[in-house]
Amino acid sequence: MRLSRYFLPVLKETPADAQIVSHRLMLRAGMIRQQAAGIYSWLPLGYKVLRRIEQIVHEEQQRAGHIPVLMPTLQSADLWRESGRYDGYGEEMLRMQDRHGRDMLFSPTAEEMFTDTFRAYVKSYKDLPLTIYQIQWKFRDEIRPRFGVMRGREFLMKDGYNFDLTKEAALHAYNRHLVSYLRTYERMGLQAIPMRAESGPIGGDDTHEFLVLAETGESGVFYDSEITELRFGERAIDYDSVEQCQAVLEEFTSRYARTDDTHEQSVFEAQVPEARRREARGIEVGQIFYFGTKYSEPLGATVSDGEGNQVPVHMGSHGIGVSRLLGALIEANHDENGIIWPEGVTPFHCGIVNLRQGDAATDAACEDLYKAITAKGLDPLYDDRDERAGAKFATMDLIGLPWRITVGPRGLKSGVVELTSRRSGESEELAPETVVDRLAEIYALG
């Protein structure tokens, strides 16, 4: 993409009403625009990152054997009356009527609709296990929408639902989600800690939240510093293996504690040596639940068990805050000049800065680089505006592309351009061909 033809409405001023750094940076970098409290338009740069996050979520879900679908955002209240949640859900549910006076709602979550879909088609234990999921907009009329996309009213969520014959099988699905979530966050360059949690309106027996460590997190947590060295992407985990999925869960047990839970703290302190104990704050970027037959019983989602009985299926639901992840990523990856995207989610793979727009040799070198990088299947952002170098650098730093290539007449005379890492600030002078190869190498690994 050539910046002169792109739509990147960066702001010079720091927006006064944005309280946390990710919100400020998303507004300044022209990623989102607020349309109403907790409701945002996704501008090109923000939309690109949102799509990259979605793509990673899809890939990791499908790797775990889960099947994508898409359900409507507007739902009839009848299903929610059947499950008994319509009256109880409270003020967070946005309710409305259609022209015929029928009660409708904007889905805040979708246990009912997935259970209804299941019961319509699946009748036998032979069709289990089954996990279906979607990435779809949700609406929760949060009392205090704040921090930009972190606590919106309309937000994008991945929600998945497993259907199993037995409790054991459903707990395997739970553990499988736990592993796949850890891999998902890791691919985005995030360290997430799964913590046992309270279940809230979804209900159920078992639930874990996934926390990303960042100063502006809403939950306090103690953790074992060695937790941050656990890596899942490199392991060949067999998602069908009950033991392998269970063992992960166990790696985390007793290695963290909520700061407001004294029982958890005493277990944590007994288990983790003092030198490895850390205190931090965490942002909830996902949650998984096992809730047994809570929805399958009232909605009549039963299957034949092969022994002549009709039994309600055991279920769980599993959510990832896709749009909240943008905020969490920025909270965990920024400096005083702007965002620092991890390679896994960056909107463009690199930026090209032309230091002397209009100089024939410099323009030609930039065009060649742009074409060569694109030909490798990468997506560069070429700053071809007629602007001062300082302004171009400031924009690149603000929008946070992990690699910047600086091209100027002086370097070109000795056959080099400069490759700069946004994270370390370190630069290298390299021949243009070498830069192209280096980027191809970085992203093939990343």
Q: Which stretch binds Mg ion (CB under 5 A): 180-188, 230-238, 287-295, 349-357?
A: 287-295
Is 301:163 a contact under the CB 8 Å cutoff?
yes
Q: Which stretch binds ligand ATP (CB under 6 A): 8-16, 48-56, 151-159, 308-316?
A: 151-159
Q: Which does 324 bind (CB under 5 to 8 A by kind): ligand ATP, Mg ion, none?
A: ligand ATP
Q: For residue 281, which amino acid is it?
A: R
| Minimum separation from the CB atom of position 64 to ligand ATP (A) | 17
Is 176:244 a contact under the CB 8 Å cutoff?
no
| Minimum separation from the CB atom of position 73 to ligand ATP (A) | 15
| Minimum separation from the CB atom of position 106 to ligand ATP (A) | 13
Cα separation, 172 vs 159, in Å, equals: 18
Q: Which stretch binds Mg ion (CB under 5 A): 219-227, 254-262, 286-294, 402-410?
A: 286-294
Which of 61, 287, 346, 362 binds ligand ATP (CB under 6 A)? It is 287
Name residues contacting ligand ATP, limited to 127-146 (CB under 6 A). Answer: 140, 142
Nearest to 253 by CA among 241, 266, 267: 267
Return the number of the residue (75 or 287) whose C-beta is nearest Mg ion: 287
Return the axis-axis angle of helices 44-63 and 322-332, rounded to nearest 10°. Answer: 110
Which of 208, 324, 334, 404 binds ligand ATP (CB under 6 A)? It is 324
Return the axis-axis angle of helices 242-252 and 167-187, rounded to nearest 10°. Answer: 60
The first and second tokens of residue 76, run together, are 């009839």
Is 394:337 a contact under the CB 8 Å cutoff?
yes
Which of 184, 287, 317, 323 binds Mg ion (CB under 5 A)? It is 287
Cα separation, 256 vs 203, in Å, equals: 23
Which of 200, 306, 409, 446 binds ligand ATP (CB under 6 A)? It is 200
| Minimum separation from the CB atom of position 174 to ligand ATP (A) | 14
Altogether, the residues listed in the chain come to a count of 446
Name residues contacting ligand ATP, limited to 391-430 (CB under 6 A). Answer: none
List, in sequence order, every residue forming a beta bridge with 162; answer none if it has no partner: 131, 316
Q: Which stretch binds ligand ATP (CB under 6 A): 229-237, 315-323, 365-373, 374-382?
A: 315-323
| Minimum separation from the CB atom of position 55 to ligand ATP (A) | 18
**Binding flag, residue 286, ligand ATP (CB under 6 A):** yes
| Minimum separation from the CB atom of position 338 to Mg ion (A) | 30
Cα separation, 205 vs 203, in Å, equals: 7
Cα separation, 370 vs 382, in Å, equals: 7
| Minimum separation from the CB atom of position 12 to ligand ATP (A) | 28
Is 211:219 a contact under the CB 8 Å cutoff?
yes
**Residue appearing with tokens 């040799």:** 361
DSSP 1: -
List, in sequence order, every residue forming a beta bridge with 163; answer none if it has no partner: 130, 315
| Minimum separation from the CB atom of position 17 to ligand ATP (A) | 18
Which of 157, 396, 398, 419 binds ligand ATP (CB under 6 A)? It is 157
Nearest residue to the partner ligand ATP, using Cβ: 321
Strands 302-304 and 334-335: unpaired
Return the number of the residue (40 or 118) whose C-beta is nearest ligand ATP: 40
Angle at the Cα of 42 (from 36 to 43), degrees rounded to 5? Answer: 120
Binding site for ligand ATP (CB under 6 A): 109, 140, 142, 151-152, 155, 157, 200, 202, 284-287, 319, 321, 323-324
